[in-house]
Amino acid sequence: MLVWAFEQIYYFIMLTFYSAQVFQSFERIFGLMHTYQYMTKARFNEETYQVIALFRKQYSFKAILLSIDKTLRKEKEDEWQGIASSLASLM
Q: How far apart are CA 38 and CA 34, in angstroms?
A: 6
Q: Are 23 and 84 in contact (CB under 8 A)?
A: yes
> What is the pLDDT at residue 1?
85
| Number of helices (H), then strands (E), in the chain | 4, 0
What's the predicted TM-score (pTM) here?
0.41
pLDDT band per the 50, 70, 90 thresholds, residue 91: low
Q: 30-85 pLDDT, tens per residue?
A: 878 888 888 888 888 888 877 787 888 777 777 777 666 666 556 555 556 666 66
Compare 77 and 11 and report the one with higher pLDDT: 11
CB-hemisphere CA count at 13 Å for 63? 8
Q: Is 90 exceeded by the pLDDT of residue 10? A: yes
Length reported for the chain: 91
